Copies of this chain bind each other. A is one copy, B any other.
Amino acid sequence: MAVGRSTARSAAGRTDAGRGGAGRGAAGRGAAGRGAAGSVQARIVAAAVGLFSEQGFDATSVQEIVERAEVTKGAMYHYYRSKDDLLYEIYHALISTQLTDLDRILAAGRPLPDAIRAIVVDLVETTAARLEETAVFARESHRLAGDRMAALRADRRRYHEAVRDLVVRGQKDGVFAASASAETVTLIVFGIVNQLPQWYRPDGEKSPRQLGDEIADFVLAGLAG
């Protein structure tokens, strides 16, 4: 759904509101006539996420994307200006969700260790729910360079600094040990999350919640020194 919202930015103006509601259950001839579900935009983004995560951005051709999405190339370029634009949508959707969660957790004003645990668990859970997006993001993060991506870089930095500040406060208050610098610990935490798609398997025995707790245990124990 967040995807739908964000794609509207590059689509010619038609938002989800214009589609989903009542009275228009058929969602257009095109969608109904295809095997795949969802709007044209959603199908394109889903196909792109899947392929980018499997093969990498450069190794994925636009041809492959439109074939998997069962859409013509022209249709794709009707909604997205370029292949890069598609990547932007993917990044944007992922970061937006996580930032919203972060703000909610910070607003709750819990004790530091609880806040850290909540953040780690949320990161692990949202990442587990969006393994492919995270894989793409981690692998192609150098593409955040252009002007287009400036807002996303800022979002990412805000998340990073929020976590680091929590660690700093904990070290000042004596709740956390200072053996490792707050910056290093923060980088470690994001490093762990970014690597998750490399090894976490959703069909494994551990639930995302369990894994999140396990990682939070480890991180908090490390912070306790």
Chain A interface residues toward B at CB < 8 A: 54-59, 139-142, 177, 179-181, 184-185, 187-188, 190-192, 194-196, 198-199, 211, 214-215, 217-219, 221-225
Contact = CB atoms under 8 A, between A and B. Distances in A.
B214 A180 contact: yes
A209 to B, nearest CB: 14
13 contacts: A54-B142, A179-B217, A179-B221, A180-B218, A188-B218, A190-B195, A191-B196, A191-B198, A195-B195, A217-B225, A221-B222, A221-B224, A221-B225
Contacts of A139: 139
Nearest to A135: B142
A56 B142 contact: yes
B56 A214 contact: no
A197 to B, nearest CB: 10
Contacts of A56: 56-58, 140, 142
